[in-house]
Amino acid sequence: MQFTIHQLEEWKDVVIQIIPNLHHNILLLRGNLGAGKTTFTQYLLKEFGSDDEISSPTYSIVNEYDTLKGKVYHFDLYRLKNVTEAYDFGIEEYLDNGFLSIIEWPEIYMDELEGYDFHEMTIENTESGREIEFN
């Protein structure tokens, strides 16, 4: 699925179209700094009925949210130096126990995801907005 958005409010339309196509409990988010990965996550979790304050897990590495569907874990692996650090905070347990795990900057953990089914979403900034691809 591909989308082009020009305003923040359009994220809601993207989320509404993606939700019926979320068949796996892991969603990888790719995009440069400021592309909108956390903004997308905010719209997604609000649509899932979360009343939590949704923020970037840049420094905490993982944020946990309650939704009407169950626990959602939001990861930011940007600051990890190696995959051992992911194991140290227990990433496998999160992935196995959440309704949904959203992983920003998943590159360092890609080899370990081989046994999992997951979706990928790429967000690219353009001059006029954002180009989004969801698989």
**Overall domain count for the chain:** 1
pLDDT tens digits, one per residue of 108-133: 999 999 989 999 999 999 988 999 99
pTM metric for this prediction: 0.92
pLDDT tens digits, one per residue of 59-105: 889 999 999 999 999 999 999 999 999 999 999 999 999 999 999 99
CATH code for position 130: 3.40.50.300
Q: What is the pLDDT of residue 57?
A: 83
Backbone torsions φ then ψ of 28, nearest 5 degrees: -95, 130
Containing domain of residue 82, as a range?
2-134
Residues 15-25 have a mean pLDDT of: 97
